[in-house]
Amino acid sequence: GAGVSQSPRYKVAKRGQDVALRCDPISGHVSLFWYQQALGQGPEFLTYFQNEAQLDKSGLPSDRFFAERPEGSVSTLKIQRTQQEDSAVYLCASSLARGGTQPQHFGDGTRLSIL
Amino acid sequence: GQQLNQSPQSMFIQEGEDVSMNCTSSSIFNTWLWYKQDPGEGPVLLIALYKAGELTSNGRLTAQFGITRKDSFLNISASIPSDVGIYFCAGQKMRAGGTSYGKLTFGQGTILTVHP
């Protein structure tokens, strides 16, 4: 399809395990965002990429969270030594242009459950 | 993290009724957006507002960007069952120098239920 694709859709991990979440943005989209959505809340910003450059990571909650986009297309969000409070839906969004001049298109998210 | 103040938290209405929801902030936003999210899916953009005072329609949806740039509202006219879902407002700020990375700050959402 032509939309933002995220995988896996669901991930269950034991506390302390590392997880990796993948985002395939819309082809040609320069900007890529990661958001965290807790149950019953709106999404909260985690980090922003412009092509391969991570220009804003102010929303990452701790140094256990790491994101990369090495070739400026696919991005991976990695969470090390997961904790129960990491349980949430992780949303990826992409937009055509730099910054906020074009709408962000969201994927359907990865629902992460930490046991 | 910061979130916008969105109200009401939930609404239960009859099919055919009009709906109004709003969003306020203690700080200025340069762009206001309204999204709808269905269960198990990502948010879908409904309307984007770029200028203070702007009133924009998209079918049965109408949204306005407040003059103070600290609020916005969304109206849905003649609601239908498929309007059911969670509606989120979101704002974007400009960074110093007039640029914006485009990160969105979201409200807590309004859960809309439409009874046939």
- Beta carbons within 8 Å of B95's beta carbon, 6+ residues apart: B101
Question: CA–CA separation, A93 vs B65, rounded Å?
Answer: 23
A16: closest CA of chain B, how far (Å):
24
Q: Is B65 in a helix, a strand, or coil?
A: strand
For the segment B3-13, the average pLDDT, to the nearest whole number, is 93
* pLDDT, position B100: 61
Tell me what the pLDDT averaged over chain A comes to: 94
Which pairs count as long-range contacts for B59-67, CB under 8 Å and 24+ apart, including other chains?
Answer: B61/B34, B63/B32, B63/B34, B65/B32, B66/B32
Question: CA–CA separation, A32 vs A63, rounded Å?
Answer: 20
* pLDDT, position B62: 98
Is the pLDDT confidence value at A30 over 60? yes
pLDDT confidence band for A10 (50 / 70 / 90):
very high
* pLDDT, position B116: 87
Q: Which residue has the higher pLDDT, A102 or A63?
A: A63
Question: CA–CA separation, B28 vs B31, rounded Å?
Answer: 9
Cα–Cα nearest to A1, from A99, A107, A114, A110: A107
CA B55 and chain centroid, separation: 13
Residues 64-93 of B with CB under 8 A from A: 88, 90, 92
Residue of A nearest to B49 (CA): A103
Cα–Cα nearest to A86, from A32, A22, A18: A18
For the segment A9-21, the average pLDDT, to the nearest whole number, is 98
Residue of A nearest to B48 (CA): A103
Q: Do A4 and B42 touch (CB under 8 A)?
A: yes
Tell me the CA distances in angstroms from A77 to A71, A91, A102, one per residue in order. 14, 10, 23
* pLDDT, position A97: 80
Question: CA–CA separation, B61 vs B46, rounded Å?
Answer: 8
pLDDT confidence band for B101 (50 / 70 / 90):
low
Q: Do A103 and B48 touch (CB under 8 A)?
A: yes
Q: Please, are residues A17 and A82 in contact by the beta-carbon 8 Å criterion?
A: yes
Is the pLDDT confidence value at B95 over 80? no
